[in-house]
Amino acid sequence: MFHYVEENLTPEELAHERDLYTPLTDSVRQLVDATIRTEVDDAEIHAVRREVDALVARLRAKQIPSSFGARIADDGTVRTHGNAVIGMRNPIAIPLDLQTDEDSRVWADFHAGAAYEGPPGLVHGGVSALLLDQVLGTAAAAAGSPGMTGTLSMRYRRGTPLGDLHIEAKLDRTEGIKSYVKGHIADADGVTVEAEGVFILPRWARELIAAEKAHAPKQFE
Amino acid sequence: MFHYVEENLTPEELAHERDLYTPLTDSVRQLVDATIRTEVDDAEIHAVRREVDALVARLRAKQIPSSFGARIADDGTVRTHGNAVIGMRNPIAIPLDLQTDEDSRVWADFHAGAAYEGPPGLVHGGVSALLLDQVLGTAAAAAGSPGMTGTLSMRYRRGTPLGDLHIEAKLDRTEGIKSYVKGHIADADGVTVEAEGVFILPRWARELIAAEKAHAPKQFE
């Protein structure tokens, strides 16, 4: 179930992948937004749908049989391009361009558009949870204590408006195999959602790291 | 900010909207999946991207200026077609076809595909939170105690495999304006994630309901 594929890709090959797939993903992301917001007439909706179906068939002419999974390069870089929050090839990903400070604080400025709506004009509370889970998990990994989510708790202080937002998280402390992480989402007026998470390194990952130190993934996304 | 647009749509017009937009949304959802999984060659990726851009331009020829928001019909039906979990016009929505039992238990069987991945082969922990937030909130509303998310806590018992899954939630109790709801996600082998949420009816909604009983939205999504 936890299948990490090992691939030996050069930096040039990794850069080529980025140049190839990022524009397509961005374009499909625009199509998602336009699908929600369009007011063109019925005939045009039907015509566009037929064109989309044709493009799906072209992309599916050759495809991996299941999900993207995780692929590990020889230098330990983990490519999780299908990841629902940060996957380079996933149009659902908002996306978050995560930065890591010297003190292992992980953060991103990002824009939440029409596809992430819950209450009118506001980010869906579950979308905030989705983003916080990823950023808290990445913060645990950035501090050297990677793990999978054990518990995650959000406190919604007020509605988070769609638009330009900020998210950040930082490891608070570790206890054995548990990493305690805190984070939040904020708009220009301050914090809107606070989160606390406990991340746990599962046995299979501990065994993997013990057995193959050189190939241990740097983080679990 | 909390703008509910009132529209007088007949049942026939609502059905027409469903027939018009559901196929397009489904097709774009397929395109999202294919974008993650495709292995066609570089030239074809570039060619498909150009075609997607052209379709975006056609849909954007006439569009609403911001997010979809919420539109309320005269019978109280709330249309939140842009909703990130259940929006009929949102290709990001998984989607959940929520059912409500006589005892106000809300549930859905659904399929999580490649776009919802976190760890390899598993549903992203944040996606589970996204879905549970929506279903717990809908369960609060179904029991006559709608609200916006105040707090939400998840306990991840084990990884949730991509594939066929079940989600459900039910109101546990109310205390004043607070609704306490419990729910979970399960696969064929049992529960994978448990959730508890507190949903609070905000002041603006209480005032809206008091002022315009007839137009009060049945739920806040």
pLDDT in tens, B89-102: 999 999 899 999 99
Closest residue in chain A to residue B59, using alpha carbons only:
A38
Chain A closest CA to B102's CA: distance in Å? Answer: 26
What is residue A2's predicted lDDT score, i.e. its pLDDT?
46
Give the helix/strand (H/E) hosting A18.
helix A11-37
Entry pTM: 0.91
Interface contact flag, B66 A21, Cβ < 8 Å = no
Residue B48: list chain A partners with CB under 8 A.
Answer: 24, 55, 58-59
Angle at the Cα of B38 from the Cα atoms of B37 and B42, rounded to 5 degrees: 145
Residue A155: list chain B partners with CB under 8 A.
Answer: 150-151
Residue A148: list chain B partners with CB under 8 A.
Answer: 119, 125, 156, 159
For residue B7, pLDDT over 60 is answered with: yes
- Angle, helix B11-37 to helix A11-37, in steps of 10 degrees: 180
Interface contact flag, B150 A156, Cβ < 8 Å = yes
Closest residue in chain B to residue A152, using alpha carbons only:
B154
| Test mutation, B52, B66, B193, B219, chain A, max A CBs within 10 A | B52
Give DSSP secondary structure letters for A115-183.
GGBSSTTBB-HHHHHHHHHHHHHHHHHHTT---EEEEEEEEE-S--BSEEEEEEEEEEEEETTEEEEEE
pLDDT in tens, B70-123: 888 777 777 889 999 999 999 999 989 999 999 999 999 999 999 999 999 999
For residue B4, pLDDT over 90 is answered with: no
Inter-chain CB pairs, A–B, below 8 Å: 346
What is residue A106's predicted lDDT score, i.e. its pLDDT?
98
pLDDT in tens, B117-143: 999 999 999 999 999 999 999 999 999
Is residue B121 within 8 Å of residue A68, measured between CB atoms?
Answer: no
| Test mutation, A16, A55, A185, chain B, max B CBs within 10 A | A55
- Can you tell me the ipTM of this complex? 0.91
Residue A133 annotated to the active site: yes
Interface contact flag, B84 A126, Cβ < 8 Å = yes
What is residue A124's predicted lDDT score, i.e. its pLDDT?
96
Rounded CA separation A16/B42 (Å): 10
Closest residue in chain A to residue B132, using alpha carbons only:
A126
Residue A88: list chain B partners with CB under 8 A.
Answer: none
What is residue B216's predicted lDDT score, i.e. its pLDDT?
47
**Average pLDDT estimate for B9-36:** 94
What is residue B73's predicted lDDT score, i.e. its pLDDT?
73
Give the helix/strand (H/E) hosting B126.
helix B125-142
Which residues touch A187 (CB under 8 Å, ≥6 apart)?
A160, A161, A163, A164, A165, A166
Amino acid at B101: D
For residue B211, pLDDT over 80 is answered with: no
What is residue B1's predicted lDDT score, i.e. its pLDDT?
39
Positive/negative CA dihedral, A210, A75, A173, A86: negative
Residue B162: list chain A partners with CB under 8 A.
Answer: 66-67
Token pair of A158 as six digits: 């007020």
Interface contact flag, B148 A159, Cβ < 8 Å = yes
Closest residue in chain A to residue B42, using alpha carbons only:
A20
Residue A69: list chain B partners with CB under 8 A.
Answer: 117, 120-121
SS3 assignment, position B137 = helix
What is residue A14's predicted lDDT score, i.e. its pLDDT?
85
Q: Which of A28, A209, A163 is nearest to B45 (CA)?
A: A28
Catalytic residue among A133, A164, A172, A187: A133
Rounded CA separation A215/A210 (Å): 10
Q: How far is CA B39 from CA A20, A61, A68, B47, B135, in A?
A: 12, 8, 11, 14, 35
**pLDDT class of B11 with cuts at 50, 70, 90:** confident
Interface contact flag, A34 B63, Cβ < 8 Å = yes
Interface contact flag, A35 B154, Cβ < 8 Å = no
Residues of chain B with pLDDT > 90, as a percent, come to 75
Interface contact flag, B20 A42, Cβ < 8 Å = yes
Is residue A133 within 8 Å of residue A127, measured between CB atoms?
Answer: no
Q: Which residues of chain A have pLDDT under 70?
A: 1-5, 212-221
What is residue A221's predicted lDDT score, i.e. its pLDDT?
42
Residues of chain B with pLDDT > 70, as a percent, come to 92
